[in-house]
């Protein structure tokens, strides 16, 4: 557990704790429910250490979850050319910390207001609230997009434009079920397929040419 990650849940913990104490006046069984919710919140905001592959050409997953889409499309916000998108769906049971897919420098960060469609819906990439990042290295510029879902309503960014990041370093999180996308150059070799489960910061998802 990292304090920075748990700090994002401070108001959730406070509300649940107050409700647990108040419910003791009614019934211990109701208090037990809130204790279980507090335990789940601790589990949701877990943030384990991860070891990233040392090879400079290996791209790692930016989030924990299941690969739900691999598609070629025009990236219109940063690179503005055709790229390959690898989309990862994060359930409410996955670690929700997002991690840098490569070593590099953050050259772009932009928050966009939008809807909260189900994160498994491909349309959510264009319509949902999101935060887009770009990581620049000597080999390539990769775009990462954090997207809210039907339950997730808060995107957190911990770094700023100009910051240098190491592969696997934490740059933010999305609270509760959501979607994280990594946009790769078409020359990159994708190492995963739809249905694969990946771990943010450690699972290789592509190799740069």
Examine residue 76 and state whether it is found in any structural domain, yes or no: yes
pLDDT of residue 153: 67
Judgement on whether residues 83 and 155 belong to the same structural domain of the protein: yes
Q: What's the distance, CA 190 to chain centroid?
A: 19
Number of compact structural domains in the chain: 2
pLDDT in tens, 108-142: 999 999 877 777 777 778 888 999 999 999 999 99
The yes-or-no answer on residue 178 being catalytic is: yes
Task: List Cβ neighbours of 32 (8 Å cut-off, separation of 6 or more).
Answer: none
Judgement on whether residues 167 and 90 belong to the same structural domain of the protein: yes
Examine residue 50 and state whether it is found in any structural domain, yes or no: no
Give me the mean pLDDT over the 146-161 stretch: 85
Judgement on whether residues 27 and 64 belong to the same structural domain of the protein: no
Judgement on whether residues 147 and 63 belong to the same structural domain of the protein: yes
Range of the domain at 29: 3-44
**With contact defined as beta carbons under 8 Å apart, do 172 and 158 qualify?**
yes
Judgement on whether residues 197 and 121 belong to the same structural domain of the protein: yes
CATH number, domain at 175?
A: 2.70.70.10
Confidence check: pLDDT of 159 > 60: yes
Distances (CA, A) of 143 to 62, 164, 187, 204: 10, 15, 15, 16
Judgement on whether residues 29 and 116 belong to the same structural domain of the protein: no
pLDDT of residue 190: 98
Confidence check: pLDDT of 1 > 60: no
Q: CA–CA separation, 97 vs 119, rounded Å? A: 16
Judgement on whether residues 77 and 178 belong to the same structural domain of the protein: yes
pLDDT of residue 122: 73
> Exactly one of 178, 187, 202, 203 is catalytic; which is it?
178
């Amino acid at each position: 557990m990292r304090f920075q990650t748990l700090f994002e849940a401070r108001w959730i913990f406070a509300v649940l704790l107050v409700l647990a104490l108040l419910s003791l006046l009614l019934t211990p069984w109701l208090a037990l429910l809130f204790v279980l919710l507090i335990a789940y919140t601790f589990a949701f905001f877990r943030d384990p250490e991860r070891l990233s592959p040392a090879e400079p050409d290996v791209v790692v997953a930016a989030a924990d979850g299941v690969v739900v889409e691999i598609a070629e499309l025009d990236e219109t916000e940063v690179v503005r050319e055709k790229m390959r998108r690898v989309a990862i769906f994060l359930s409410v049971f996955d670690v929700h910390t997002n991690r840098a897919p490569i070593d590099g420098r953050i050259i772009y960060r932009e928050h966009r207001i939008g809807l909260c469609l189900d994160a498994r819906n491909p349309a959510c990439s264009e319509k949902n609230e999101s935060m887009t990042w770009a990581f620049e290295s000597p080999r390539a510029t990769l775009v990462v997009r954090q997207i809210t879902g039907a339950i997730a309503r808060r995107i957190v960014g911990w770094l700023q434009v100009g910051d240098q990041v190491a592969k696997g370093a934490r740059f933010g999180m999305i609270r509760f079920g959501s979607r994280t996308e990594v946009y790769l150059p078409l020359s990159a070799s994708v190492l995963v397929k739809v249905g694969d489960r990946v771990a943010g910061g450690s699972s290789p998802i592509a190799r740069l040419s």
